[in-house]
Amino acid sequence: MIVSAKDLRFKISMLFDVLTKGEDIIITYRGKPKAKLISFEDPDNNEKSDALFGMWKDQGSDVDELIRNMRQGRKFAL
């Protein structure tokens, strides 16, 4: 992504979102590239920070079996 120095000042939160997704940012000043922002990868932290990541790892049941049972549909007594 290419942004101007003005975008860097006024839209910094949007740029952090772009960096979080792993995309690099080239900053231009008066139309010429001057700097490059790259996302930081912490080598000590290999886990995703997403709260839902690995939510099934502590489950004792098989995820595929659970999903199959959920997709069977409801059975109503008449």
Q: Identify whether 5 is part of a domain.
A: yes
CATH number at residue 24: 3.40.1620.10
Rounded alpha-carbon distances, angstroms, from residue 34 to 3, 4, 25, 74: 11, 10, 11, 61
Percent with pLDDT over 90 in the chain: 23
pLDDT at 30: 92
Q: Give Cβ neighbours of residue 21 (< 8 Å, ≥ 6 apart).
A: 39
Instruction: Give the count of domains, the chain.
Output: 1
Residue 9 pLDDT > 60, yes or no?
yes
pLDDT band at 72 (very low <50, low <70, confident <90, very high): confident
pLDDT at 70: 80
User: Tell me: the pLDDT tens digits for 26-58?
Assistant: 999 999 999 998 888 766 665 555 555 566 666
Residue 18: which domain range? Answer: 1-40
